[in-house]
């Protein structure tokens, strides 16, 4: 059994994010899903990003990091898109991390935006669609490939398609087949943690 801290994407803690967490919980794991937006759910990525911009990207990321202080250190950190920011920071900087699950986004581990090198012994899975304008077009895939090249236990999974939030069953971007495969891979990853 693994314990997971799962951060939502820029549209908020949607029913689809909750459903994903429920599926992981049904498989015997513990999943914490904090709401970084205090109950707000947005109709589009752009609206969510505008809200994040008002509060501040760093402020919301750090809100997620502080939430981890209330939980055990031996966690798997997971994030959907924007949620990758606190998840990846915690996986790379908080001692005791058991792993990281990065969905639709990935930050570099070198350069000015990095949290530093990837910690030894922390496994990571990265999932995205091969034609996603954000994941591929904005360079997240390059950061993912850097991690896979430099980290011993790192995997990058690409799914056919162009949707960003493809594993959120409450949104039009949902892809049931890709999500089923993603979930199978995530559960196999968690069984080893």
| Strand arrangement of the beta sheet that strand 154-159 belongs to | 30-32, 3-7, 76-80, 99-103, 123-129, 154-159
Length of the chain: 193
Residue ranges of domains in the chain, CATH in brackets: 3-191 (3.40.50.1820)
Taking the CB of residue 95, how many other CB atoms lie within 10 A of it? 7
Query: And the tokens for 4?
Result: 């997971």
CA-CA-CA-CA torsion sign (10, 14, 17, 21)? positive
Out of 4-8, 58-62, 145-149, which region has the weakest mean confidence (pLDDT)? 58-62
Provide the whole-model pTM.
0.96
Across the range 105-114, mean pLDDT stands at 88
Interacting residues of 83 by C-beta distance below 8 A, sequence separation 6+? 6, 7, 8, 9, 36, 64, 103
Q: What percent of the chain is modeled with pLDDT above 90?
A: 91
Q: Using one digit for the tens of pLDDT, what is the confidence trace for 11-40?
A: 999 999 999 999 999 999 999 999 999 999
């Amino acid at each position: 059994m693994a314990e997971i801290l799962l951060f939502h994407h820029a549209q908020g803690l949607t029913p689809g994010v909750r459903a994903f967490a429920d599926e992981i919980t049904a498989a015997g794991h513990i999943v914490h899903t904090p709401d970084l937006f205090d109950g707000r759910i947005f109709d589009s990525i752009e609206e969510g990003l505008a809200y994040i911009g008002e509060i501040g990207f760093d402020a919301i990321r750090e809100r997620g990091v502080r939430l981890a202080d209330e939980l055990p250190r031996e966690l798997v950190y997971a994030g959907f898109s924007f949620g990758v920011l606190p998840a990846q920071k915690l996986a790379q900087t908080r001692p005791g991390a058991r792993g990281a699950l990065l969905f639709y986004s990935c930050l570099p581990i070198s350069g000015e935006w990095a949290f530093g090198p990837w910690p030894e012994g922390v496994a990571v899975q990265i999932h995205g669609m091969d034609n996603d304008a954000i994941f591929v077009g904005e360079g997240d895939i390059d950061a993912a490939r850097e991690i896979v090249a430099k980290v011993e236990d790192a995997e990058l999974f690409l799914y056919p398609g162009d949707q960003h939030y493809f594993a959120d069953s409450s949104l039009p971007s949902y892809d049931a087949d890709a999500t089923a495969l993603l979930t199978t891979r995530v559960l196999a990853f968690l069984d080893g943690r």
